[in-house]
Structure 1
Amino acid sequence: MDEPGQTRETYRAFRTIPTRWMDVDVYGHVNNTVYYSWFDTAINAWMVESGVLDPASGEVIGVCAESGCRYLRAVEFPGAIEAGIRVAKLGRSSVRWEIGIFTASEATPAAQGFFVHVFVDRATMRPTDMHDALRAALQSLLV
């Protein structure tokens, strides 16, 4: 997982995501489960917009094999977060993403997470090598 002391500059791409009323729990802050939704949204939106993932009909899809999060500071509603993403490790059929969740005025993340995708053949659900365009796109985010 990310090390303490990371800043916005250590991430390669960002997605702004608004917090929603339904994200807040009885304690008045965004519930821990919502962060995983943000991870998934930031990563998959980047791949779709980069043209390397077709979630509806592509032959290769990414499935989550592992994820985790370290919560450093509360996020509240209303507001927006900026999810910074980067690639920490690139394998033959897998990628380890690292995600920083930033609030608008902060240079350091409110949370740091990771998400491991394994790319599989949609029909067989067996791991498959990444195609060249996907690998090249992911390499652009590699740290």
Structure 2
Amino acid sequence: MSDSRPQAGQRADFPHFHPIQTRWMDNDVYGHVNNVVYYSWFDTAVNHYLVQQGVLDIERGEVIGLVIETHCNYFASVAFPDAIEVGVRVAHMGRSSVRYELGIFKAGEELTAARGHFVHVYVDRATRRPVELPATLRQALAGLMHG
């Protein structure tokens, strides 16, 4: 019988990295970063990339991404004052959605401390109805495609 348990990812699996410094308040009573903080790191890394690429205007853009699915597996503890790097890749681009896969690495480590994904559905800001991914967004995400 094969082992189907989730496995840590490797640094080489991710084409883009976003550095983040853990904060004192990120630790919980068990002495490590609380699980909800990881989802904030996912959002921060992806949206920072999109803003840097000029394809996300968080205040006036007509198209915005809404998270419809998220998941994370944890492999090693992270705690303040660790510096981390969030690896970002795109696993799938559909007509109106993108599946981002993310890896949380302690700075310089080769294996993920955690890895997960989330799916953005891109919608019209006013109507909240799905729209086709703009060409500029597709182009910016092409460099993050996995495989």
TM-score calculated relative to the size of structure 2 = 0.93
Q: Is residue 79 of structure 1 aligned with residue 82 of structure 2?
A: yes
Task: Provide Cα deviations, 1:47-75, integer angstroms capped at 9, x if missing partner.
Answer: 00011111111000001010000011000
Match of residue 118, structure 2, among 100, 115, 120: 115
Mind listing any 5+ residue stretches in structure 2 that lack a counterpart?
A: 1-5
Offset at residue 36 of structure 1 (A):
0.2
Say whether residues 1:127 and 2:130 are aligned partners.
yes
* Partner residue in 2 for 1:69: 72
Q: Kindly state the Cα deviation for residue 140 of structure 1 after the two structures are TM-superposed.
A: 1.3
Counterpart CA distance in 2 for 1:130 and 1:53 is: 12
Work out which of the residue numbers 68, 92, 95 in structure 2 matches 1:92: 95
Aligned equivalents of 2:53 and 2:91: distance in 1? 18
SS of equivalent to 1:119: strand
CA distance in 2, matches of 1:24, 1:6: 23
Aligned residues of 2:8 and 2:114 also touching (Cα < 8 A) = no
- TM normalised by structure 1 equals 0.96
Secondary structure of the structure 2 residue equivalent to 1:126: coil
Take 1:105 and 1:47, find their aligned partners in 2: how far apart are those partners? 24
Aligned length: 141
The counterpart of 1:101, out of the listed 100, 104, 123, is: 104
Deviation at 1:5, TM superposition (A): 4.7
Structure 1: runs of 5+ lacking an equivalent: none
Amino acid at match of 1:39: F
Alignment partner of 2:30 out of 2, 21, 27:
27
Structure 1: distance between partners of 2:14 and 2:115: 11
1:34 is paired with a residue whose SS is helix
1:11 aligns to what? 14
